[in-house]
Amino acid sequence: MKRLLILISSTGFLFQAGIHVNAQSNTDKQEVRIVINSDLGKEVINKHIYGHFSEHLGHCIYEGYWVGEESGIPNTRGIRDDIVDALKESSIPNLRWPGGCFADEYHWMDGIGPRDQRPKMINTHWGGVTEDNSFGTHEFLDLCELLNTEPYICGNVGSGTVEEMSKWVEYINFDGVSPMADLRRTNGRENSWGLTYWGVGNENWGCGGRMRPEFYADQYRRFATYCRNYGDNRLRKIAGGSHDDNYNWTEVMMKEIPLNMMWGLSLHYYMTEWGNKGSATEFEEDEYFRTMKMAVNFGSLLDGHIRVMDKYDPRNRVALVVDEWGTWWNVEPGTNPGFLYQQNTMRDAFVAALSLNHFNDRCKRIKMANIAQTVNVLQAMILTDEERMILTPTYHVFEMYKVHQDATMLPLDLDSDLEYKHGDNKLSAISASASRDAEGAIHVSLVNIDPEQATDVSIDIRGGDVSEVNGRILTAGELNAHNSFDEPESVKPEPFKAARLSKQNLSFRLPAKSIVVLEIK
């Protein structure tokens, strides 16, 4: 018998590629009706959509991953064990490093060799603190091996040279006899790492050099030329792309860079009001609604960049790589403003669920994404305080959604009466995406962002046999509910037993402000 796994997460949403949404208002009974053709689907949801980003910023690296070999906190070669275990449990597929803005002032040769001999630098972007370079190329790639994840390195275009970047690729990927390969061996690594994903600069329109798009396009062509392939390894080079709705940058990149010179083009988007970011935990419904609106409209913004890419690349040879995305609030009171340390609530979980649904349903073009950031910075998966560690609501969304990785996206029809109304404004309250994995299991992620209204859900599953249902739910009493070091499990998935099967139909009551994952066998 086929095994069907249905993932249902609660977040609101207007329109997604691959999903037909018909929002109806002024109805007495709130209902959501979904039709899934389980035997259809062509595009694969690349697992790298579920990637992460870690920068030399605040306590992401130091006092995050890296505690040093002499630490009393359990570690492997200086890398914290509990963080590695947690990220492996969520099936982290890739990790982007060393930035971010830090990447374009980072000189990689300062971070190799004996740690006590590495030169120090000032982290001018993030807090003006001293960076001692004790976590460098070897430590990062060791972390990725412990995580069993793909490394994604972002090279320095802003303040670096073509020669410097070229030598870094050679140091990492060349197995023959050369100055860089020999230097790597001197530093303790015999074989190359075979790294695949390589970013040529970061935010070159901003902190990466304040470049015009035409100038950066030429710089990309120059730098990328000298990022060589060694042996059978083939670099997947990623050009520094646009931000927000700056479609012109995307237009120039697609027009001026030969398509065969780049595997991907990046995009950055933070769901924040830059002039008034607000508190991560102390917010009113007005602020919640505005954040949900940005998260809902993220889909339309993605579609705008995809349309530009389609114009120049109708065969989808270049991936859209959303390698920085998430929420950005004011730092927690009493912390260094340059460290970007913020708490993480159910509001952040809904942003994550909505965004991942957007990415899933646009998987024909979007092949990689990286939430910012993994530990102790911005919309983090994990927060630490010396030996203590907590998992955030966003972590739980990623862990629940991991079933979509490398599964086939299934277009679905969604007909919803439920609208989230606030004042004179309204949003469709429901978002969904679906996939089928290699074993035939089907997963559906469906989200309700309305903070007050539950809704009846009916899912018609066509093309597959079903006989049993189980599930989990992620929800809380308040939108600002979060985990703390004193109460580390205030928000976590719990069993969900409300779903009922009748032949090929699944029905249940989807609670307000909830994310539900159902498994159907």
Judge if 400 and 326 occupy the same domain: yes
Domain closes at, from 380, 406, 432 = 406
Q: Give the separation between CA 456 and CA 469, rounded to whole angstroms.
A: 17
Q: Is the dihedral of CA 253, 256, 260, 262 positive or negative?
A: negative
Q: What are the φ/ψ torsions at residue 307 (nearest 5 degrees)?
A: -60, -40
Q: Which helix (H) or strand (E) holds 389?
A: strand 388-391
Judge if 114 and 8 occupy the same domain: no
Instruction: Check 43, 170, 203, 519 and give the catalytic one.
Output: 203
Judge if 342 and 442 occupy the same domain: no
Residue 465: the pLDDT is 82
CATH code of 454's domain: 2.60.40.1180
Judge if 56 and 11 occupy the same domain: no
Other CB atoms within a 10 A radius of the CB of residue 406 amount to: 17
pTM: 0.94
Residue 200: the pLDDT is 98
- Non-local CB neighbours of 87 within 8 Å, separated by 6+ positions: 52, 147, 149, 374, 381, 382
Q: What is the pLDDT of residues 387-413, one digit of tens each?
A: 999 999 999 999 999 999 999 999 999
Judge if 35 and 128 occupy the same domain: no
What interhelical angle do 213-225 and 162-173 show, nearest 10? 40
Q: Give the separation between CA 435 and CA 51, rounded to whole angstroms.
A: 18
Q: Which tokens in the block code for residue 474?
A: 């992620």
Judge if 393 and 303 occupy the same domain: yes
Q: How many angstroms from the chain centroid is the CA of residue 381?
A: 10
Q: What are the φ/ψ torsions at residue 415 (nearest 5 degrees)?
A: -120, 110
Q: What is the pLDDT of residues 233-265, one digit of tens each?
A: 999 999 999 999 999 999 999 999 999 999 999
Q: Give the separation between CA 226 and CA 161, rounded to whole angstroms.
A: 11
The answer to whether residue 28 scores a pLDDT higher than 60 is: no
Residue 429, classed as helix, strand or coil, is coil
- The pLDDT > 70 percentage for the chain reads 94
pLDDT level of residue 91 (50, 70, 90 thresholds): very high
Q: Give the separation between CA 36 and CA 14, rounded to whole angstroms.
A: 18
Q: Are 474 and 496 in contact (CB under 8 A)?
A: no
Domain closes at, from 365, 385, 406 = 406
The answer to whether residue 286 scores a pLDDT higher than 90 is: yes
Residue 463: the pLDDT is 86
Residue 518: the pLDDT is 80
Judge if 385 and 354 occupy the same domain: yes
Q: What is the pLDDT of residues 317-336, one digit of tens each?
A: 999 999 999 999 999 999 99
Mean predicted lDDT score pLDDT of the chain: 93
Judge if 32 and 88 occupy the same domain: no
pLDDT level of residue 347 (50, 70, 90 thresholds): very high
Residue 29: the pLDDT is 60
Cα→Cα distances 516→6, 108, 450, 496, Å? 9, 43, 14, 7
Judge if 291 and 314 occupy the same domain: yes
Instruction: Check 105, 324, 399, 419 and give the catalytic one.
Output: 324
Q: What is the DSSP code string of 183-202?
A: HHHHTT--S-----EEEE-S
Judge if 352 and 453 occupy the same domain: no
Active site residue 203: yes
The answer to whether residue 353 scores a pLDDT higher than 50 is: yes
Q: What is the pLDDT of residues 116-143, one digit of tens each?
A: 999 999 999 999 999 999 999 999 999 9
Query: Which domain covers residue 327, as residue numbers?
Result: 47-406
Question: Total structural domains in the chain?
Answer: 2
CATH code of 267's domain: 3.20.20.80
Active site residue 256: no
Judge if 254 and 165 occupy the same domain: yes
Least confident of 15-19, 62-66, 83-87: 15-19
Closest CA to 164 of 235, 96, 226: 226
Judge if 10 and 74 occupy the same domain: no
Span 25-41, average pLDDT = 77
Residue 439: the pLDDT is 87
Residue 466: the pLDDT is 80
Domain closes at, from 369, 388, 406 = 406
